Structure 1
Amino acid sequence: MAPKVLVSDKLSETAVQIFRDRGVEVDYLPDLGKDKDKLLDVIGQYDGLAIRSATKVTEKILAAAGNLKVIGRAGIGVDNVDIPAASKKGVIVMNTPFGNSVTTAEHAIAMMFAVARQLPEASVSTHAGKWEKNRFMGVELFNKTLGVIGAGNIGSIVCDRALGLHMKVVAYDPFLSEERAKAMGVTKVELDELLARADFITLHVPLTDKTRNILSAENIAKTKKGVRIINCARGGLVDEGALAEALTNGQVAGAAFDVFEVEPATESPLFHLPNVVVTPHLGAATTEAQENVALQVAEQMSDYLLTGAVQNALNMPSVTAEEAAVMGPWLKLAQHLGAFAGQLTDEPIKAINVLYDGCVSHMNLEALNCAAIAGIMAATNPDVNMVSAPIIARERGVKIATTRQEKGGVFEGYMKLTVVTDRRERSIAGTVFSDGKPRFIQIKGINIDAEIGAHMLYTTNEDVPGIIGTLGHTLGNAGVNIANFTLGRAAQGGDAIALLYLDEAPKVEVLRALEATGKFSQVKPLVFDVA
Structure 2
Amino acid sequence: MPKVLISDKLSPAAIEIFRRRGIEVDFKPGLSPAELRAIIAPYDGLAVRSATKVTRELMDAAPNLKVVGRAGIGVDNVDVTSATARGVVVMNTPYGNAITTAEHAIAMMFALARQIPEASASTKAGRWEKNRFMGVELFGKTLGLIGCGNIGSIVANRAIGLHMKVVAFDPFLSEKRALELGVEKVELNELLDRAEFVTLHAPLTEHTRNILSRENLAKLRKGARLINCARGGLVDEAALYDALASGHLAGAALDVFETEPATESPLFGLENVVCTPHLGAATAEAQENVALQVADQMADYLLSGAVSNAINMPSVTAEEAPRLKPYMELARLLGGMAGQLTAAQDDAIKVIRVEYEGHVAELNRRPLTAASLAGVLAPLMGAVNMVNAPVVAKERGIEVAETVHERRGDYASLLRVTVVTDRYERSVAGTLVGEARPRLVEIKGIAVEADFAPDMLYVTNQDRPGFIGRFGMVLANAGINIATFHLGRAAQGGDAICLVSLDGPIPEPVLAEVRALPLVVQATPLRF
Q: In 1, distance between residues paired with 2:527 and 2:454?
A: 5
Q: Is residue 110 of structure 1 aligned with residue 93 of structure 2?
A: no
Superposed counterparts of 1:100-249, under 5 Å: 100-249=97-246
Q: 2:26 matched to 1:27?
A: yes
For residue 473 of structure 1, report the CA deviation from its aligned partner.
Answer: 4.3
Question: What do the CA deviations read for 1:119-157 (whole angstroms, capped 9, x no partner)?
Answer: 011011111101111111111112222111211110111
Displacement of 1:478 in angstroms is 4.4
- Residue 511 (structure 1) shift: 2.8
Alignment of 1:241-320 (within 5 A): 241-320=238-317
* Structure 1 CA distance for aligned equivalents of residues 91 and 361 of structure 2: 26
- Once the two structures are TM-superposed, the CA of residue 472 in structure 1 deviates from its matched residue by 4.1
Q: 2:71 aligns with which of 66, 69, 74?
A: 74
Q: Is the 8 A contact 1:103 1:289 kept in 2?
A: yes
CA distance in 1, matches of 2:323, 2:255: 43
**Equivalent residue number for residue 51 of structure 1:** 48
CA distance in structure 2 between the aligned counterparts of 1:215 and 1:63, rounded to whole angstroms: 36
- 2:417 aligns with 417
Deviation digits for residues 130-189 of structure 1, max 9, x if unmatched? 111111111111222211121111011111111221222222212112221222222222
Secondary structure, aligned partner of 1:192: helix
In 2, Cα distance between equivalents of 1:215 and 1:157:
22
Matched, 1:97 2:86: no
**Structure 1 pair 36–217 and aligned structure 2 pair: CA distance change class (3 A):** closer
Q: Which amino acid aligns with 1:464?
A: R
Q: In structure 2, how many angstroms separate the alpha carbons of the residues matched to 1:226 and 1:362?
A: 54
Cα distance in 2, alignment partners of residues 105 and 523 from structure 1: 62
Q: Which amino acid aligns with 1:51?
A: V
The residue number in structure 1 matching 2:396 is 396
Q: In the alignment, which residue of structure 2 is the partner of 1:359?
A: 359
What's the CA shift for 1:250? 3.0
What residue in structure 2 maps to residue 507 of structure 1? 507
Q: What corresponds to 1:13 in structure 2? A: 12
Of 15-24 and 518-527, the range deviating more from structure 2: 518-527
Contact 1:240-1:268 within 8 A present in 2 as well: no
Deviation string, structure 1 residues 6-34 (Cα, Å, up to 9, x no partner): 11222221110111000001112223x3x
Measured against aligned partners, the alpha-carbon deviations of 1:380-439 in whole angstroms (never above 9, x if no partner) come to 455432223334434434333333343364334322222233333322222223332222
- Segment of structure 1 superposing worse, 420-429 or 19-28: 420-429
Deviation at 1:474, TM superposition (A): 4.1
In the alignment, is the contact (CA less than 8 A) between 1:407 and 1:413 conserved in 2? Answer: no
Q: Is the 8 A contact 2:471 2:517 kept in 1?
A: no
Aligned to 1:432: 432
Structure-1 residue corresponding to 2:318: 321
Q: Matched residue of 2:426: which SS?
A: strand
Alignment partner of 1:87 is 2:84: yes
When the two chains are superposed, the root-mean-square deviation of aligned CA atoms in Å is 2.1
Amino acid at match of 1:208: T
Structure 2 residue matching 1:378: 3-state secondary structure? helix
Segment of structure 1 superposing worse, 106-115 or 232-241:
232-241
Distance between the aligned counterparts of 2:384 and 2:363, measured in 1? 23
More moved, 124-133 vs 494-503: 494-503
Query: What displacement does 1:115 show?
Result: 0.5
- 1:321 aligns to what SS in structure 2? coil
Contact 1:16-1:26 within 8 A present in 2 as well: yes
Pairwise CA distance, 1:74 = 1.4
Q: CA deviation at 1:520?
A: 1.6
Structure 2 counterpart of 1:465: 465
Structure 2: distance between partners of 1:202 and 1:132: 29
Does the CA-based 8 Å contact 1:456-1:525 persist in structure 2? yes
Bigger shift: 61-70 or 20-29? 61-70
Moved beyond 6 Å, runs of 4+: none
Pick closer, same or farther for the CA change 1:516–1:212 going to 2, 3 Å. closer
Give the stretch that moved more between structures: 481-490 or 71-80.
Answer: 481-490
Change in 2 beyond 3 A, CA 1:217/1:36: closer
Contact 2:455 2:504 survives alignment (8 Å) = yes
Alpha-carbon distance between aligned partners in 2 of 1:286 and 1:88, rounded to the nearest angstrom? 35
Per-residue Cα deviation, 1:339-397 (whole angstroms, up to 9, x for no partner): 11221123233332223334333433332232122212322455432223334434434
Aligned to 2:521: 521
Going from structure 1 to structure 2, the CA distance change for 1:408 and 1:251 (only over 3 Å counts) comes to: farther
Q: Deviations over 1:309-350 (max 9, x none)?
A: 111222222222222212111111111112112211232333
| Mapped pair 1:386 → 2:386 | yes
Aligned counterparts of 1:66 and 1:256: Cα–Cα separation in 2: 43
Question: Matches of 1:210 and 1:381 in 2, distance apart?
Answer: 30
Q: Which runs of 5+ in 1 are unaligned?
A: none
Once residues 452 and 45 of structure 2 are traced to their aligned partners in structure 1, the CA distance between those partners, rounded to angstroms, is 32
Separation of aligned partners in 1, 2:255 and 2:97: 15
Shift of residue 103 of structure 1?
A: 0.7
Instruction: Determine the structure 1 residue equivalent to 2:445.
Output: 445
Bigger shift: 239-248 or 400-409?
400-409
1:492 and 2:489 matched: no
Structure 1, 514-523 or 95-104: larger mean CA deviation: 514-523
- Structure 1: how far apart are the matches of 2:382 and 2:240? 52
Whole-Å separation in 2 of the counterparts to 1:75 and 1:350: 39
Change (3 A) 1:290 1:361: same
The residue type equivalent to 2:16 in the other structure is Q
Q: Secondary structure at the match of 1:45?
A: coil
Range with greater deviation from structure 2 (229-238 or 48-57) = 48-57
